[in-house]
Amino acid sequence: MNSKNNHKIIGNPEQRVDAIGKVTGTAKFAEDYNVLHQLYGKVLRSKYPHAKILSVDTSKAEQLDGVEAVLTANDIPGKKVFGIVVQNQTFLAIDKVRYLGDGVALVAAKTKEIAEQAIALIDVQYEPLPVIADPEESIKTDAVKIHGDDNTFVHHKVRKGDIEKGFAEADFILEKKFKTQFIEHSYIEPEAVLAELAEHGGVKITGSVQNLFSSRRSVAAALNLDLNKVQIIQSTLGGSFGGKDEVMTSMCCRAALLCLKTGKPVKMVNTREESMLESYKRHPYVLFYKWGVKNDGSITAMEIKCIADGGAYASMSPFVTWRSVVQATGPYHCENVKTDIYAVYTNNNYTGAMRGFGSPQVNFAIESMMDELAEKVGKNPIEIRLQNGYERGDVTATGQKLDHNVSYKEVLKKAAEAINFEEKWKQYRASPKTPFKKGIGLASSYRGVSLGAEGTDAVGTIVSVQTDGSVIVSSGITDMGQGAQTQMSQITAEVLGISMERIQFLNTNTSRVPDSGPTVASRGTIMSGSAAKKAAEIVKSTLLDVASEMTGVALQNLDIKNNYLVDVSNDQRLASFSELAAECFNNGKPMYGLGWHKSPHTSWDEEHGQGDAYYTFVYGTNIAEIEVDTETGKVNVVDFVSAHDVGKAINRNTVLGQIYGGVAMGLGYGMLEEFEFENGIPKQLNFDEYLIATAMDVPRIKAIIVENEDAAGPFGAKSIGEPATELAAPAIVNAIYNATGKRIYEIPANLERVLLGHKLTRTGERGSVQKEKEETVNFDSCKIRSTEK
Amino acid sequence: MLNSFSYYKPKSEIEIIETLKSFGDDAKILAGGTDLLVYMKQQIAGPKVLVDIKGVPDFSKIDVDSGGNLIIGAAVTCNDVVENQYIRNHFPVLATAAKTIGSYQIRNRATVVGNICNASPAADMAGAFLVLDAVVIIATEKGNREIPIKHFFVGVKKTSLQQNEFVKAIKVPADYKDAEASYLKASRIKGHDLGTCNAAMSRSKNGKIKIAIGSCNITPVLLPDFDSNNIDLANILTTAMNSIKPIDDLRGSKEYRKHLVQVFIKRLLNGKGHSH
Ligand SMILES: Cc1cc2nc3c(=O)[nH]c(=O)nc-3n(C[C@H](O)[C@H](O)[C@H](O)COP(=O)(O)OP(=O)(O)OC[C@H]3O[C@@H](n4cnc5c(N)ncnc54)[C@H](O)[C@@H]3O)c2cc1C
Does B194 have pLDDT greater than 90? no
- Tell me the chain B residues in contact with residue A763 when contact means C-beta distances shorter than 8 Å: 247-250
Q: Determine the average pLDDT of the residues in A443-452.
A: 95
pLDDT band with cut points at 50, 70 and 90 for residue A200? confident
CA distance A168 to A161: 13
The CATH code belonging to domain B179-269 is: 3.30.390.50
Touching check for B61 and chain A: CB below 8 Å?
no
A83-98: buried (b, 16+ CB within 10 Å) or exposed (e) per residue? bbebebbbbbbeebbb
Q: Does CATH number 3.40.50.10190 belong to domain A285-452+604-756?
A: no
Give per-residue pLDDT as tens, B9-68: 999 999 999 999 999 999 999 999 999 999 998 889 999 999 999 999 999 999 999 999
Minimal-distance CA residue of chain B relative to A771? B44
pTM: 0.94
Strand pairing of A89-90 and A192-197? unpaired
Residue type, A213: F
Minimal-distance CA residue of chain A relative to B119? A768
Touching check for B274 and chain A: CB below 8 Å?
no
Minimal-distance CA residue of chain A relative to B214? A768
CA distance A21 to B208: 60
Nearest-CA residue for ligand 1 atom 4 is: B102
- Tell me the chain A residues in contact with residue B215 when contact means C-beta distances shorter than 8 Å: 767-768
CA distance A626 to A636: 5
A518, A211 contact by CB (below 8 A): yes
CA distance A214 to A620: 31
CATH topology of domain A33-129+191-268: Aldehyde Oxidoreductase; domain 3 (3.90.1170)
Q: What share of chain A is helix, strand, coil (3-state, %, to 5)?
A: 30, 25, 45
CA distance B117 to B167: 8
In percent, the amount of chain B with pLDDT more than 90 equals 88
> Is the shortest distance between the CB of B254 and ligand 1 below 6 Å?
no
- Decide if B250 and A693 are in contact by the 8 Å CB cutoff: no
- Decide if A631 and B263 are in contact by the 8 Å CB cutoff: yes
Give per-residue pLDDT as tens, A622-649: 999 999 999 999 999 999 999 999 999 9
Give per-residue pLDDT as tens, A270-327: 999 999 999 999 999 999 999 999 999 999 999 999 999 999 999 999 999 999 999 9
Pick the atom of ligand 1 nearest to B112's CA: 21
- Decide if B255 and A684 are in contact by the 8 Å CB cutoff: no
Query: Quick one: pLDDT at residue A2?
Result: 41
> Is the shortest distance between the CB of B30 and ligand 1 below 6 Å?
yes
Query: Quick one: pLDDT at residue A773?
Result: 35
Integer angstrom CA distances of residue B8 from A278, A560, B109: 38, 68, 18
Same fold, A19-27+458-598 and A33-129+191-268: no
In percent, the amount of chain A with pLDDT more than 70 equals 95
Kindly report the number of other CB atoms within 10 A of residue A586's CB atom: 11
Minimal-distance CA residue of chain A relative to B118? A768
CA atoms within 13 Å, Cβ hemisphere of A622: 36
Does A505 have pLDDT greater than 60? yes
pLDDT band with cut points at 50, 70 and 90 for residue B177? very high
A765, B250 contact by CB (below 8 A): yes
Q: Which of A393, A172, A395 is nearest to A300 (CA)?
A: A172
Q: In what order do the strands lie in the sheet with A558-561?
A: A558-561, A564-567, A572-576
Touching check for A683 and chain B: CB below 8 Å?
yes
Q: Which of A139, A562, A526 is nearest to A343 (CA)?
A: A139
Q: Which of A611, A610, A637 is nearest to A729 (CA)?
A: A637
Q: Determine the average pLDDT of the residues in A500-525.
A: 93
Does A454 have pLDDT greater than 80? no
- Tell me the chain A residues in contact with residue B192 when contact means C-beta distances shorter than 8 Å: 688, 694
Residue type, A413: K
Give per-residue pLDDT as tens, B120-150: 999 999 999 999 999 999 999 999 999 999 9
Rg of chain B in Å (alpha carbons): 18
Domain boundaries, given as residue ranges, for chain A: 19-27+458-598, 33-129+191-268, 285-452+604-756
B29, B53 contact by CB (below 8 A): yes
Q: Which of A84, A78, A357 is nearest to A240 (CA)?
A: A357
How distant is the alpha carbon of residue A66 from its chain centre? Answer: 40
Strand pairing of A337-345 and A299-311? parallel
Touching check for B258 and chain A: CB below 8 Å?
no
Does B178 have pLDDT greater than 80? yes
Q: For chain A, first and last CA: distance in Å? A: 66
A180, A324 contact by CB (below 8 A): no
pLDDT band with cut points at 50, 70 and 90 for residue A774? very low
Q: Determine the average pLDDT of the residues in A558-586.
A: 97
B155, B33 contact by CB (below 8 A): no
Strand partners, A204: A196, A231
- Decide if A760 and B256 are in contact by the 8 Å CB cutoff: yes
A614, A602 contact by CB (below 8 A): yes
A15-45: buried (b, 16+ CB within 10 Å) or exposed (e) per residue? ebbbeeeeeeeebebbbebeeeebbbbbbbb
- Decide if A634 and B122 are in contact by the 8 Å CB cutoff: no
A560, A543 contact by CB (below 8 A): yes
Query: Quick one: pLDDT at residue B135?
Result: 98
pLDDT band with cut points at 50, 70 and 90 for residue B250? confident
Phi first, then psi, for residue A513 (nearest 5°) are -130, 155
> Is the shortest distance between the CB of B79 and ligand 1 below 6 Å?
no
Say whether the ipTM exceeds 0.85: yes
Nearest-CA residue for ligand 1 atom 28 is: B33
Q: Does CATH number 3.40.50.360 belong to domain A19-27+458-598?
A: no
Of A116, A779, A786, the CB nearest to B248: A786
Give per-residue pLDDT as tens, A379-400: 999 999 999 999 999 999 999 9
Query: Quick one: pLDDT at residue A766?
Result: 60
Burial class (CB in 10 A: 0-12, 13-18, 19+), A101: buried
Q: Determine the average pLDDT of the residues in A544-548.
A: 97
Does A785 have pLDDT greater than 80? no
Q: Which of A129, A315, A304 is nearest to A218 (CA)?
A: A315
Query: Quick one: pLDDT at residue B238?
Result: 97
A365, A178 contact by CB (below 8 A): yes
In three-state form (DSSP H/G/I as H, E/B as E, the rest C), the secondary structure along chain B is: CCCCCEEECCCCHHHHHHHHHHHHHHEEEECCCCCHHHHHHCCCCCCCEEEEHHHCHHHHCEEECCCCCEEEECCCEHHHHHHCHHHHHHCHHHHHHHHCCCCHHHHHHCEHHHHHHHCCCCCHHHHHHHHCCCEEEEEECCEEEEEEHHHCEEECCEECCCCCCEEEEEEECHHHCCCEEEEEEECCCCCCCCCCEEEEEEECCCCEEEEEEECCCCCCEECCCEECCCCCHHHHHHHHHHHCCCCCECCECHHHHHHHHHHHHHHHHCCCCCCC
Integer angstrom CA distances of residue A75 from A59, A227, A250, A260: 15, 20, 14, 11
Q: How far is A275 from chain B (nearest CA, A)?
A: 15
Give per-residue pLDDT as tens, A727-764: 999 999 999 999 999 999 999 998 778 787 655 555 55
Q: Which of A328, A291, A292, A334 is nearest to A308 (CA)?
A: A328
Inter-chain CB pairs, A–B, below 8 Å: 117
Q: Determine the average pLDDT of the residues in B69-90.
A: 98
> Is the shortest distance between the CB of B119 and ligand 1 below 6 Å?
no
CA distance A451 to A318: 13
* Mutation pick for ligand 1 pocket among B13, B106, B147, B184 (CB with most ligand atoms within 8 Å): B106
Of B245, B249, B260, the CB nearest to A763: B249
- Decide if B191 and A631 are in contact by the 8 Å CB cutoff: no
Give per-residue pLDDT as tens, A651-688: 999 999 999 999 999 999 999 999 999 999 999 999 98
A61, A119 contact by CB (below 8 A): yes
